[in-house]
Amino acid sequence: MPESDFPVSIRFAGPQFKTKGVSIQDLGETFIAMQRMVYKAYFVQQKHSFRKAVPSIAERKLLALGIGDHKRGSDIYQFIWQAMQGAQAIPIDMKELTTQIAASMVLIGGGKIWNIVTKPKKESVDLLAIALYNELEELADRIGKAGGITKIEIHLEGRRAPIVINAKLRNEIKNTRKNAKLSRKQALEGDVIAPHTIGEDYAIVRVGTERIKVHFKSKGLFREMMRELGPRPTARFRFTGRPRLMIDFDPERFVEFFAETVKAIKDLTTE
């Protein structure tokens, strides 16, 4: 089968892969992340909701990747579009899809994702970069683990050079996540549903439909909350502090909060 028949291929590099294959866990995580990237690129291309998480059955059939070939030489997997093997009319430009994925991954690797998140007007490639950030983080997390992967190369139709995921990119992505700007000081009100009593360092707080991980600046602050909670399984509290903003379409969205003070809601009614 000619090379052009493989619009997507992945090469795993590591000292052992000339004689052994990649572990099932690393393969599974990588393949799933790549398929999710395709779904998200399609949603952006078709101007669907960027938050759409579950494609329809028809969309799954249209966008499904399949393994077309497997080679040794490191460990290389070449993919085909399953829908195109049926000689049916394809309603979207598959090459454009892979080109968009490549362009967005390059943006993420450039270390400017936070600037993209906070841009007032975002282009489609920016929106896709935000959507793909978590998937690229998942791929980068394969590097240096027990599976022995030192580098992942992703070859995409429409781009001559591969996307290279190595330890340097993994560290850049982790630092971006860790250093995501903390917002201004504010209050957070919600129901404590799962205090981490072993480490006495955080609690899961339900705020509407969200689950926020609230970190405490000290064990003393955590214990203060626990004294108010007492034997009850849950209680409502107000925390003041700063959230860590997410790499998300909404630049103010967060799922982590760093609490500096805590007060039970019942106390607030007496003030």
Residues 127-145 pLDDT 10s: 999 999 989 999 999 999 8
Q: Which pLDDT score, from 0 to 100, does residue 179 have? A: 76
Per-residue pLDDT reduced to its tens digit, 8-31: 999 999 998 888 899 999 999 999
Q: Give the mean pLDDT of 72-80.
A: 87
The residue among 19 and 267 whose pLDDT is bigger is 19
Cα–Cα distance, 17 to 253 (Å, whole number): 41
Q: Is the pLDDT of residue 69 over 50?
A: yes
Domain extents in the chain: 3-178, 186-268
Confidence of residue 270 (pLDDT cuts 50, 70, 90): very low
Q: Which pLDDT score, from 0 to 100, does residue 267 have? A: 54
* Full DSSP string of 186-242: EEEEEEEEEE-TTTTSEEEEEETTEEEEEEES-HHHHHHHHHHHTT-S-EEEEEEEE
Q: Which pLDDT score, from 0 to 100, does residue 1 have? A: 37
Q: Give the pair of three-digit tokens for residue 209.
A: 């439909």
Give domain 186-268's CATH architecture.
Answer: Beta Barrel (2.40)
Return the bridge partners of 256, or none: 213, 244
Phi/psi for 178 (5° steps) reads -65, -35
Q: Mean pLDDT over all residues of the chain? A: 89
Q: Tell whether pTM > 0.85.
A: no
Per-residue pLDDT reduced to its tens digit, 112-129: 888 899 999 888 899 999
Q: Which pLDDT score, from 0 to 100, does residue 189 have? A: 97
Cβ atoms of 184 and 251 within 8 Å: the answer is: no
Confidence of residue 228 (pLDDT cuts 50, 70, 90): very high
Q: Is the pLDDT of residue 269 over 90?
A: no
Q: Which pLDDT score, from 0 to 100, does residue 49 have? A: 62
Q: Which pLDDT score, from 0 to 100, does residue 4 have? A: 57
Cβ atoms of 136 and 165 within 8 Å: the answer is: yes
Which residue's entry shows tokens 């360092």?
Answer: 201
Q: Give the mean pLDDT of 218-240.
A: 95
